[in-house]
Structure 1
Amino acid sequence: MKPALHGDLKISEIIEHYPQTRSVFTAHGLSALVSEDGMRVLAPFLTLATALRSRLIDLTSFLRLLQEVIDLEELAEAPGLESVDHQGELTLLALMPCGLKVPFSKAISEAIGRIEKEHNLSVRYAVEGNVNQELSYYPYINTLEKVEELPDIIISADFNAFYGHSFYNRFVATGDVTGYNTINTSKTFTDAGVIDPEGNYTVLGINPLVIVANTEQLNGRPLPTCWADLIDPMWKDSITLRGSSDFFCHAVLLPMYRDHGAEGLRQLADNVLQGMHPAQMVKQIDLNAPGALYVMPEFFAYRAKQQQRIQIIWPEDGALASPVTLQVKASRIDELKPVLDLLTGIDLAQSLAGARFPVPHAEVTSEVQDKPLMWISWDLLRERDLLEVNAEIDDLFLPYVKSINK
């Protein structure tokens, strides 16, 4: 039996039982300990706590990183898209936000095995991180012509091709693909208008985007309280968004464009210092690197080691609501009801809420459940083609960001 991780384990014991954790040691400057010589001379006698203490590395944070690597390895039973020849063969495809991939995979893997036995079903599924698919999988969606080419159940994150008019007109308006709406909705989700009034999209949860301030980089500037504050000139070259040179998160840019137009995008771009993944943002904060404000999923903010340095701001007008959405082939609803009930049920919802992702279930309680959300609105999604709007945003925002950040 493999030992549970703790500080008194010898380095050699950890590597012997969990060889996949070697990369964590290397990333923290401890490669000598897990090298061939180190494993022979030092690792059999040196405990993890002692090794980390000598390098001033926090034991609790290091143990968490080790466990995350182990958890990812153990999720081999939740394969990714690379193992699938034709997505139409899949019962379930889940494209999850980074913070939900592991808890979601854990929650469904055992449950689906049980459902297969109890209901004599064969459920083939794949779970991917959404960030890996934004520039590769979603463009593929617009090439599909037949509903048979789609997985039976699709779970996707953020405002993506499944919300575009091309997909909607081919598969949703025809009734081939629909939502599965059995959830007793909370007041927070109702007030924010998150629930699709036409029932074509079932929102399983929200990845809430908030503002995180590095208080040591504020230089006397007051903390923002709402999203409009981010376009104030006082934040010039001070804001970090999720993105890169060719992509910035539309969950942030869409409401800014809706509420403040092209000029609002230009003002925001003027204030952007850089684009990066939220995990990189956390490292920037821990290093006290330049940059006062970061827009990131709320759960990422709690990964910062230097919690005393940050202020997590849940804006008064609501965290930006980046959705995790379920759709299903209408023809498969009856057969796949046990799977759909699992995916929309209380147990999975509680797991998502426990990972700091608000869910629409009125029965679920968590620290994030009753906080306000800002939703883009279903009227906008139906009246305008989301993909066209995103393209407009990119044309306005990306060149300006590039020109001012040379």
Structure 2
Amino acid sequence: MINKRMTIEEIVTKHPNLIETFESKGFKGLNNKAILKQVGRLPLETVLTNKKMNVDAFIALLNESFAKDQVTDVTLMEKEKKENAINISGLLPCPVRLPLLEILNEHKNIDNINYELKAAAEGLDWIKEEVMNAKTEDDLADVFISAGFDLFFEEDLMKKFKNQNVFKDYTGLDDYNTDFENKDISLKDPSGDYSMLAVVPAVFLVNKKELGDRPAPKTWKDLLDPMYEKSISLPVSDFDLFNAILIHLYKYYGEEAVEKLGKGLVESMHPAEMVKSDKRKTKKKPAITIMPYFFTRMALPGGVMEPVWPEDGAIISPIFMLTKKDKKEQVESIAKLFASKEVGEIFAHKGLFPCVNKEVDNRIEGKTFKWIGWDYINNNNIGEILRNCMELFEKGMN
């Protein structure tokens, strides 16, 4: 795992594939040994501070770039299945996965815990299959952690077990962080079934050069203007966030809004690619990209890429946790660990995923959020809405 005390020379020597990541952020010539020795001897923290770049965000991006290929002790431990142990299953956002696994491995009952917590980039299909094949609650893991509207609210996935009163929130968080307190936001599940740990905010990154004479969008409704057709890049492969964007636009602006978003699509990219889209050698570059807030912090100050936090609030994809109601004695300490201030600060500071724990300073300076709300979730068939949204989006693309 890369840390701020390592030098650039040390990092790229061990992980030469990261040279491209450095270059996309303005570090040139690292393939040249003479240049590498000249700029590579200082600690990474010092170099980034001198360039006025966010240290934690940049290091998290480096770690995310090779997380899939990295083999660590904590990853190996995931494969050691123990009998009669508590099972944890799910996905963790790439920028925070390794530090969270390290904390989990320090848990007092780790010898009685099995876990399979994959990088979010690997997708939810394997969990969906596990849940879909589960005939009773005994076939489910005891703790689930992930983002994803479809996984948690589809009638044939987690919702069928929610309706059977299988889950209970054991985090002990009675009040959520005041960053989420306004007339439109109430993140805490009123039924006490779902636990929420943090949120992934979706914001805009504007390429001022590609935007030309057009004004930068300030709200989600602005994005639907015909002037932005074939000008928007979306995280289509990031299903959790993409679904969150679709369902929010559907709720607030109707079917036409989802179709218009499809008309705006110029291409789909991973957020790490979006940040450096101004350097791509394609004929058509996106003028606006929608991405997790974390990746906007990678944009170089003074460059053509400018982050915009929507005035009507960043659409959020919540990071949920489900714990089995009848396993309170075994799972309560795990629930409290993931809802703790220590873990919350990892979410908020390393991943820039604002945390619900009220003791955590999310460092978001009063920014607002957009959330569809529990009433909408509980009174609608979310799976059916998402399928309809996808059809509308694809119709707009064609």
TM-score between the two structures when normalised by the length of structure 1: 0.79
Alignment-derived partner of residue 273 in structure 1: 266
CA contact (8 A) 2:232 2:264 kept: yes
Q: CA deviation at 1:81?
A: 11
The alpha-carbon distance between structure 1 residues 278 and 229, as it changes in their structure 2 partners (threshold 3 A), is same
Alignment-derived partner of residue 99 in structure 1: 95
Aligned length: 374
Distance 1:379 1:357 in 2: 24
Alignment-derived partner of residue 137 in structure 1: 127
The alpha-carbon distance between structure 1 residues 224 and 298, as it changes in their structure 2 partners (threshold 3 A), is same
Alignment-derived partner of residue 232 in structure 1: 225
Distance 2:168 2:79 in 1: 26
Matched, 1:260 2:253: yes
Q: CA deviation at 1:70?
A: 7.6
Distance 2:94 2:189 in 1: 24
Secondary structure at the residue paired with 2:75? coil
Residue 341 of structure 1, aligned match among 313, 331, 336: 336
Matched, 1:380 2:381: no
Instruction: Name whichever structure is richer in helix by fraction.
Output: 1
Structure number with greater Rg is 1
CA contact (8 A) 2:21 2:62 kept: no
Alignment-derived partner of residue 292 in structure 2: 297
Alignment-derived partner of residue 165 in structure 1: 155
Alignment-derived partner of residue 202 in structure 2: 209
Residue 177 of structure 2, aligned match among 163, 186, 207: 186
Report Cα offsets for 1:364-384 as digits up to 9, x if no partner. Answer: 113127421111211221122
Q: CA deviation at 1:66?
A: 6.0
Distance 2:310 2:125 in 1: 29
The alpha-carbon distance between structure 1 residues 343 and 255, as it changes in their structure 2 partners (threshold 3 A), is same
Q: CA deviation at 1:321?
A: 1.0
The alpha-carbon distance between structure 1 residues 285 and 193, as it changes in their structure 2 partners (threshold 3 A), is farther
Residue 330 of structure 1, aligned match among 325, 337, 344: 325
Q: CA deviation at 1:357?
A: 1.0
Aligned Cα RMSD in Å? Answer: 3.8
CA contact (8 A) 2:207 2:306 kept: yes
Secondary structure at the residue paired with 1:312? strand
Q: CA deviation at 1:25?
A: 4.6
Moved more, 158-167 or 312-321: 158-167
Distance 2:65 2:239 in 1: 29
Task: Percent identity, please.
Answer: 23
Moved more, 244-253 or 147-156: 244-253
CA contact (8 A) 2:130 2:140 kept: no
Correspondence list, 1:23-42, <5 A: 23-25=17-19
Report Cα offsets for 1:205-237 as digits up to 9, x if no partner. Answer: 001111111112211211211111110111111
Report Cα offsets for 1:96-132 as digits up to 9, x if no partner. Answer: 233332343344333x2xx127xxx512212212231
Distance 2:147 2:12 in 1: 35
Q: Which has the higher contact order (CA 8 A, sep 6+)?
A: 2
Secondary structure at the residue paired with 1:144? coil
Residue 242 of structure 2, aligned match among 236, 239, 249: 249
